[in-house]
Structure 1
Amino acid sequence: MNILVFLIPVSLFLGFLGLGAFMWSLRHAQYDDMEGARHRILSDRNDDHPAR
């Protein structure tokens, strides 16, 4: 039972650390794919139908 006194704060710290890293990546535009959008608009490939 004494181990929970150690494990709960450690797990909360790691959870908040992961949340902080995710929020940082959102603020610094890590998920924007401007280069890919430029190439996809010019592509002849139709993703609605499976490849033949």
Structure 2
Amino acid sequence: MSIIYVLIPLAIILVAVALGIFFWAVRSNQFDDLERQGYSILFDDDLPEEQRRKATSSESSSTKKTDSTASHNE
């Protein structure tokens, strides 16, 4: 019976902490755009123009290397 005197306040504290974290997340706009993060890996729109050019040039040079190694293997 004495364990209830420990568990009830502990449960109330845990619920209060969980509610505090939830309301903090709502106030800091964590739930505003749920789909953007899922699409962010598909598009490089968040990169500056310089990094985007570097990324596309490195991708094209890597495909050229694989094409040239494939032609050497034949």
Q: TM-score, normalised by structure 2?
A: 0.45
Q: Distance in 2 between matches of 1:29 and 1:14?
A: 23
Q: Distance in 2 between matches of 1:34 and 1:4?
A: 40
Query: For the aligned residues, what is the CA RMSD?
Result: 2.0
Gaps of 5+ in 1: 40-52
Q: Distance in 2 between matches of 1:35 and 1:2?
A: 48
Larger-Rg structure: 2
Give runs of ≥4 in structure 1 deviating > 6 Å. none
* Number of equivalenced pairs: 37
Q: Per residue, is there more helix in 1 or in 2? A: 2
Q: Distance in 2 between matches of 1:24 and 1:4?
A: 30
Gaps of 5+ in 2: 40-74
Compared CA separation, residues 24 and 4, structure 1 to 2 (3 A):
same
